[in-house]
Amino acid sequence: MKKLPVPFVGFLQALGVALYVVLFVLTARGASAYVEFVPLPDIIFPILFLLAFVFSALTCVLIVFGFPSMLVLEGKGKEALKVVILTALWPFVAVPIVLSLVSLLL
């Protein structure tokens, strides 16, 4: 398998987190429409919120730190740090571009 450039790996990881967030929001919105029609005890909502929060945190940690962890175990700590930094920086590049494109379309 061909080795991907570090900036592209960071981009893919940032894209993975963004897609997960979109999928989670769409799922949560669908679930909220269902909950309106089903009577549930009040204690269920905080439990569901905390479970969703923990699951989301775990998913995002796995997306962002999974590959860099493997790099560290292979002795490539500097490359792992670059991947993490680029994953964190990609949204700062992508969000203004996406918002500009959306504002042009609306």
**Distance from C-alpha of 18 to C-alpha of 24, rounded to nearest angstrom:** 10
Give the model confidence (pLDDT) of 46-80 as tens digits: 898 899 999 999 999 999 999 999 999 999 999 99
pLDDT of residue 11: 93
Q: Is the pLDDT of residue 1 over 60?
A: no
Q: Is the pLDDT of residue 16 over 90?
A: yes
pTM, to two decimals: 0.82
pLDDT of residue 57: 95
Q: Which of 17, 14, 19, 5 is nearest to 85 (CA)?
A: 14
